[in-house]
Structure 1
Amino acid sequence: MTIYYGGDYNPEQWPEQTWAEDVRLMTEAGVNLVTVGVFSWAMLEPADGQWDFGWLDRILDLLHANGIRVDLATATASPPPWLTAAHPEMLPADEAGQPLWPGSRQHYAPSSPVYRRHALRLVRAMAERYGNHPALEMWHINNEYGCHTNLDYSAPAAVAFRDWLRDRYTGIDALNQAWATAFWSQRYAGFDEILPPRQAPSFRNPTQLLDFHRFSSDMLLECFLAEKDVLREITPDVPVTTNFIGAFKPVDYWRWAPHVDIVSDDNYYDPADARAPMRAAFSRDLMRGLAGAKSWMLMEQATGHVQWRPTNLRKPTGQMRAVSLQAVARGADGINFFQWRQSRGGAEKFHSAMLPHIGTESRVWRSVVGLGADLVSLKSVAGIREIGRVAVVFDWDSWWGLEGEALPRTFDYVAGVEDWYEALYALNLQVDVVSTAHDLSPYAAVFAPHLYVLPDTAAENLAGYVARGGSLLLTYGSGLVDQHDQAHLGGYLGGLRDTAGLLVEEFGPLAGSTVVEASGDRLGTVTGTLWTEFLQLRTAKAVARFHGGDLDGEPAVTRNTTGNGLCWYVATRPDPAAIARITAAVLADAAVATPLADLPAGVEAQTRGDLLFLINHNPHPISTPHTGRDVLTGTTHDPATLPGYGAVALDRGSARL
């Protein structure tokens, strides 16, 4: 096997005489895979039913002649002007019901029959023409589903939403029960009375909002699956992918992942964010969790700056290599970029590329060529999937529900998950990101923060994991509601009350910068923010208790022995140092060793196959205690000193940890 290397290639943006130079430079850089045709619908079908494939024929032949494989896009991400002019009813609409007009991209209602019919006609034409082309490595369906048109409130969406609800509920009475429509006189006599949750005078029905998120994700999935069905019919042996976007709120990737052959991720590292290395690592671990036993690849990233942030900082020299090798260390079998040649015009002309405006006499080009050589040296790890002993649960229903309307306070679900992931990241542990439905038996410890939506099935899986000997950490804001966003009665936590050994009697959000304090012999002082809860202990023991105010003496952190396992519960948002201590206590109880925990701050370590990756995310040099031969350079380090944004991949057979 080898590691894919390349990026989006848009030859239709350039005169044909530049194509030979492109391919020559791709070969020089070590490029072996390019994505072609993502935004080319208007070029491929310039008028209704009129096809122009000649230019695509020629570029695919040229790429094949030079040994470059193609991730061929179905080109359905942006409909051509002639289609929206003829069928404005296919345009998406905002919450006010106003159309979102052409002139950008993704200007289609996912549930529009007109869009789907024309998109599938294009996919069939592409598959029939290129299904046997020798350059074809995989199909790239659409592009970044939901990036711009994820919540569509159009007339086609209203029709599709009603159909989706009919399938989900056995009848209108079941929907009324699930949505609690007795509140505010919202009871429906039939499905035809239901609309998407457009702008309203006050708070909208919470369960309707939650179901609309689920529906919207499913409509995009239907579009993907419809295209995939055509490709499977004509090219059954060619793998398919579509590019995910990390932890992306609009689309529940747990529902999507089983349907792709290769999981792909678009991740745009922010050089201005001091926590970007951790956040990038989380995205990589999420992709590995989504992929399971399959491969995953980094489909898009930037060589330097992007064009869509308020201030678009460039990556310092070396950082592009460092974050690319971070992805390889965490399981990526491909490192690609947007895009190959930097556009001269259009909205992304100032988005960096592998071949920048200035050309090959540039810092970026030298980095691109160097990374290509690195990936050749790392081919031994391609296809190797490591499984950690620790997992973090990530749940789209809880994300959608917890950030809905009419809630106790504004909540950032991802930030809450990152609190605990960051503590594990700092210990350089291999962390798998999983869903509530995953088989948890491989893991010694599972961290499941903020499971606001807790159906019985999820509670049973987590409770069974603990009963069989696992260690589980739960946090405040968990188990407040069931799958219908209705409150669990008799004490929050629902089906996890016995596992946690407690009832959550009452919650108390904290205003602004208000803090509370707690302490315990094992954890020391804990400073809490954001949230507090009154807990009624049953079998759990308090590890730390609040002091001061009306929480004085109440449990803040608890630990419960149940079955063969343990369950920890945290009733506030602890400060980072306290989170680190709680994490260490959970890992110690679970007998999880942390052999790479003592590296200097900002140095990341991960093992994959026979290699130990050490990556310095600091701008200054760092010395580490590790020795061994770096397969990237052939240099033997004793010990390894990393320059700013430097990285090594040490042969573990020669390394001393």
Structure 2
Amino acid sequence: MKRELKVPGIAYGGDYNPEQWPEDVWAEDMRLMREAGVTMVSVGIFSWALLEPREGEYDFTLLDRVLDLLHAHGIAADLATPTAAPPAWFFRAHPEALPVDKDGRALSYGSRQTFCPSSPAYREAALRMAGELARRYADHPALVMWHVHNEYGCHNAECYCDESAAAFRRWLRTKYADDLTALNDAWGTRFWSQWYYDWDEILPPRPTGAVPNPTHQLDWRRFCSDALLSLYEAERDVLRKAAPAIPATTNFMVMHNFDALDYWRWAPQLDIVSNDHYLQSTDPESELDLALSGDLVRSLAGGPWLLMEHSTGAVNWQPVNRAKRPGELRRNALAHVARGADGIAYFQWRAAKAGAEQWHSAMLPHAGTDSQIWRDVVQLGADLRALGEVRGSVGTASVAIAWDWNARWAMELPSQPSELLRFHDLVRAWYEPLWRSGVAVDFVRPDADLSRYRVVLAPSLYLVDDAGAANLTGFADTGGTLVVGFHSGAVDPNCHVRLGGYPGAFREALGVRSDELFPLLPGESLDLTGGGTATLWSERLRLEGARAVASYTTGPLAGTPAVTHHTYGRGTTWYLATQPDPTTLAGLLARIHTEAGVTPVRATPPGVETVLRRGADADYLFLINHTDEDARVATSEPAVELLTGKPVAGSVVVGAGDVAVVREPRDA
């Protein structure tokens, strides 16, 4: 059954927590939500202690009034199960449900997500609560979506208690078909006398005197993701049984600093994929991370998605929490829409005056309606109403980037050739020049259908299984262009090194072979032919069919190829055996995508972000000006700029720091 969100146009709203305020404030909330153009709010996310004041005793009086009030004012409810924050009485009754950190310390309650994901007592209580909500509100007219839990794994992705250890062993027994020898072979336990003779000998990868087994650690990360996924699925199924037509979601956290969950496994289990995204104050180009996140979430969803949380201004959890610059609130929100978001929501509606997030910005700030944030929020509501027809339109990418959480986890384990390698940083370095030039990008699993793409990039695919490697190389063999980054294809899914030389699984398709790796020290660089420089990595590379495009001119590998090109089957492959400087890398990627017939969405001045969403009857060109100067961009005719409703004759001027969205003819 296809379950869709029944909110017209681009949904708009945020987390609504009326329990934090006297009831006489609620009427003002409704009036101001209508003024701002709010169409949907998330409710009940952290209300467990109020809904179930004592075990098995429920009080839905407050939630009844809130949902009725929302419905009376035409505002839809994304109703949450409040299971991210169990109440104090639960932990007094079940102290064994508290999480244990890697060093063996039992953490206390008094915050959120302070539970062990493998705790039977927690699962029972969470499902009981979900069931009560489902039975009471399945037919409520305000309900349009179930919001399961909140930000799974944000604070408790890993628990090292004995219950988690037992659950880990059960997971391993299933994965390895109850064959302990198979596990020992997969983990390579002949090394350091780690062989296991009994399942009960296996523990979580707690601190030891030396480096833990890498496959042990990797399987642990997989287990932790699956343990939380099983909780989501269990709650979702309870809700779905009571209300089969209501879609369910949970908010992902596709941000640069969160890597706890394998969202390729999670996404198919959601009716609607949603995401939380927050800017980093220390990132001088946070709009780049926003774009990468949006493209990745759209790729996970396979189409439109919802932005469940972001901020109107400052957050409260970074060392320094800066406010957004003038126009940034609008640019950020509409950039998410450009990359597939069919809903825009914030944490939260009204800024809290007490609690751990009292200094987190909101749609209605502490200063009230006489504030720049409020004026921006109202303006954004009008913008989203004007963009209603964009809903449901899709992306147009002919370039894909391979992204895999297993590869990320494995590459960042201890005792690698270089601890300077960070998966997200390497991918971002390749994504950046494409973003700057307006080339549309999807993200894909290594084993995905690649037939719609002209170019596939694998910047950092340290771990890849045989099927994924065959799929990527087969893409080139049948006419595509495959570009592989250094230290890719090195290990199989068990973290076993692929023997015979590097880059392992991709060696034949790339037409090269390395016999030794030469990672570079912090701050060290090598010169390249053509005037560029290289950092992070080098390797002794031998051509076996490929030709050198660039070579080192300095260092112990002077004269050795650093970038190669190879004809493979009906297609081409490239290997970047180092990390070129940004200008050199941008030039290489521009050459590669141009030779493959990939063109930017639209020619624009530097600093103007361009994204295209394709609808059934029209194209929607998003132009986001990140500069301090006006920019003129050519458009097709007849065209209309949707935010102003004005016709466009051949070109549109995008003001400094402003956004334009142009509807163009579908056959343009």
Band the TM-score falls in, shorter-chain normalisation: over 0.9
Q: Residue 373 of structure 1 aligns with which residue?
A: 382
2:556 aligned counterpart, secondary structure = helix
Task: In structure 1, give the amino acid aligned to 2:113.
Answer: Q
Q: Deviations over 1:145-171 (max 9, x none)?
A: 010101211111101000011011131
Q: Residue 222 of structure 1 aligns with which residue?
A: 230
Task: In structure 1, give the amino acid aligned to 2:462.
Answer: Y
**Alpha-carbon offset, residue 595 of structure 1:** 5.2
Q: Supply the distance in 2 between the matched residues of 1:80 and 1:622 (Cα, whole angstroms).
A: 53
1:509 aligned counterpart, secondary structure = coil
Q: Supply the distance in 2 between the matched residues of 1:28 and 1:533 (Cα, whole angstroms).
A: 61
**Alpha-carbon offset, residue 546 of structure 1:** 1.3
- The structure 1 residue matched to 2:185, chosen from 158, 177, 180, is 177
Q: Residue 274 of structure 2 aligns with which residue?
A: 264
Q: Residue 396 of structure 1 aligns with which residue?
A: 405
Answer whether contact 2:396 2:612 (CA < 8 A) is retained: no
Q: Deviations over 1:284-314 (max 9, x none)?
A: 0001100014x30111000011111111100
Q: Residue 315 of structure 1 aligns with which residue?
A: 324
**Alpha-carbon offset, residue 468 of structure 1:** 1.2
Q: Residue 593 of structure 1 aligns with which residue?
A: 599
**Alpha-carbon offset, residue 386 of structure 1:** 1.9
Answer whether contact 1:454 1:494 (CA < 8 A) is retained: no
1:385 has 2:426 as partner = no
Answer whether contact 2:547 2:566 (CA < 8 A) is retained: yes
Q: Residue 542 of structure 1 aligns with which residue?
A: 548
**Alpha-carbon offset, residue 506 of structure 1:** 1.5
1:551 aligned counterpart, secondary structure = coil
Q: Residue 117 of structure 1 aligns with which residue?
A: 124
Q: Supply the distance in 2 between the matched residues of 1:329 and 1:511 (Cα, whole angstroms).
A: 40
**Backbone CA RMSD of aligned residues:** 1.5
Q: Deviations over 1:107-156 (max 9, x none)?
A: 00011111001000000000000011111110000000010101211111
1:608 has 2:620 as partner = no
CA spacing shift, 1:183–1:615, aligned 2, 3 Å = same
**Alpha-carbon offset, residue 593 of structure 1:** 1.7
Matches within 5 A, 1:15-26: 15-26=22-33
State TM-score, norm by structure 2.
0.95
**Alpha-carbon offset, residue 549 of structure 1:** 2.8
Q: Residue 433 of structure 2 aligns with which residue?
A: 423
Task: In structure 2, give the amino acid aligned to 1:622.
Answer: D
Q: Supply the distance in 1 between the matched residues of 2:123 and 2:28 (Cα, whole angstroms).
A: 37
1:584 aligned counterpart, secondary structure = helix
State TM-score, norm by structure 1.
0.97
- The structure 1 residue matched to 2:21, chosen from 14, 23, 29, is 14
Matches within 5 A, 1:144-543: 144-170=151-177, 171-247=179-255, 248-293=258-303, 295-410=304-419, 411-519=421-529, 524-543=530-549
Q: Supply the distance in 1 between the matched residues of 2:119 and 2:633 (Cα, whole angstroms).
A: 59
Could you tell which deviates more after superposition, 92-101 or 123-132?
92-101
Q: Residue 109 of structure 2 aligns with which residue?
A: 102
Aligned-residue sequence identity (percent) comes to 48
Could you tell which deviates more after superposition, 541-550 or 424-433?
541-550
**Alpha-carbon offset, residue 357 of structure 1:** 0.9
2:153 aligned counterpart, secondary structure = coil
Q: Supply the distance in 2 between the matched residues of 1:185 and 1:303 (Cα, whole angstroms).
A: 54
Q: Supply the distance in 2 between the matched residues of 1:653 and 1:389 (Cα, whole angstroms).
A: 20
Q: Deviations over 1:163-184 (max 9, x none)?
A: 0110111311111111111111
1:255 aligned counterpart, secondary structure = helix
Q: State the aligned residue count.
A: 649
Q: Residue 642 of structure 1 aligns with which residue?
A: 654
**Alpha-carbon offset, residue 417 of structure 1:** 0.4
Answer whether contact 2:11 2:40 (CA < 8 A) is retained: yes
Q: Supply the distance in 2 between the matched residues of 1:270 and 1:548 (Cα, whole angstroms).
A: 36
Q: Supply the distance in 2 between the matched residues of 1:17 and 1:595 (Cα, whole angstroms).
A: 50
Q: Supply the distance in 2 between the matched residues of 1:462 and 1:495 (Cα, whole angstroms).
A: 10
**Alpha-carbon offset, residue 611 of structure 1:** 2.0
Task: In structure 2, give the amino acid aligned to 1:443.
Answer: Y
CA spacing shift, 1:539–1:367, aligned 2, 3 Å = same
Answer whether contact 1:271 1:315 (CA < 8 A) is retained: no
Answer whether contact 1:479 1:494 (CA < 8 A) is retained: yes
2:497 aligned counterpart, secondary structure = coil
1:37 has 2:37 as partner = no
- The structure 1 residue matched to 2:641, chosen from 627, 630, 643, is 630
User: What residue ranges of structure 2 are gaps of 5+ in the alignment?
Assistant: 1-7
CA spacing shift, 1:654–1:126, aligned 2, 3 Å = closer
CA spacing shift, 1:459–1:654, aligned 2, 3 Å = closer
**Alpha-carbon offset, residue 273 of structure 1:** 2.1
Answer whether contact 2:402 2:444 (CA < 8 A) is retained: yes
Answer whether contact 2:601 2:610 (CA < 8 A) is retained: no
**Alpha-carbon offset, residue 269 of structure 1:** 1.9
Q: Residue 580 of structure 2 aligns with which residue?
A: 574
Q: Supply the distance in 1 between the matched residues of 2:341 and 2:555 (Cα, whole angstroms).
A: 50
Q: Residue 140 of structure 2 aligns with which residue?
A: 133
Q: Supply the distance in 2 between the matched residues of 1:149 and 1:536 (Cα, whole angstroms).
A: 46
**Alpha-carbon offset, residue 574 of structure 1:** 0.5
Q: Supply the distance in 2 between the matched residues of 1:449 and 1:433 (Cα, whole angstroms).
A: 12
Q: Supply the distance in 2 between the matched residues of 1:100 and 1:402 (Cα, whole angstroms).
A: 29
Task: In structure 1, give the amino acid aligned to 2:531.
Answer: T
- The structure 2 residue matched to 1:74, chosen from 70, 75, 81, is 81
Task: In structure 2, give the amino acid aligned to 1:199.
Answer: P
1:652 aligned counterpart, secondary structure = strand
Q: Deviations over 1:566-619 (max 9, x none)?
A: 1100000110001111101211221112252x423321011223321111123x
Task: In structure 2, give the amino acid aligned to 1:204.
Answer: P
Answer whether contact 1:471 1:589 (CA < 8 A) is retained: no
Task: In structure 2, give the amino acid aligned to 1:161.
Answer: F
1:552 has 2:563 as partner = no
**Alpha-carbon offset, residue 464 of structure 1:** 1.3
1:652 has 2:657 as partner = no
Q: Supply the distance in 1 between the matched residues of 2:656 and 2:349 (Cα, whole angstroms).
A: 26
**Alpha-carbon offset, residue 421 of structure 1:** 0.5
Q: Supply the distance in 2 between the matched residues of 1:208 and 1:219 (Cα, whole angstroms).
A: 16
Q: Deviations over 1:401-443 (max 9, x none)?
A: 1111111111211000001000110111111111112111110
2:498 aligned counterpart, secondary structure = coil
Q: Supply the distance in 1 between the matched residues of 2:322 and 2:448 (Cα, whole angstroms).
A: 38
2:264 aligned counterpart, secondary structure = helix
Answer whether contact 1:272 1:313 (CA < 8 A) is retained: no
**Alpha-carbon offset, residue 492 of structure 1:** 2.4
Q: Supply the distance in 2 between the matched residues of 1:332 and 1:551 (Cα, whole angstroms).
A: 47
Q: Residue 83 of structure 1 aligns with which residue?
A: 90
Q: Deviations over 1:304-362 (max 9, x none)?
A: 11111111100012111011111111111001000001111001011000011111111
Q: Supply the distance in 1 between the matched residues of 2:460 and 2:665 (Cα, whole angstroms).
A: 41
Q: Deviations over 1:21-57 (max 9, x none)?
A: 1011111111000000000110100111010101100
**Alpha-carbon offset, residue 637 of structure 1:** 5.9
Task: In structure 2, give the amino acid aligned to 1:586.
Answer: I
Could you tell which deviates more after superposition, 599-608 or 406-415?
599-608
Task: In structure 1, give the amino acid aligned to 2:609.
Answer: E
Q: Supply the distance in 2 between the matched residues of 1:593 and 1:53 (Cα, whole angstroms).
A: 56
User: What residue ranges of structure 1 are gaps of 5+ in the alignment?
Assistant: none
Task: In structure 1, give the amino acid aligned to 2:253.
Answer: I
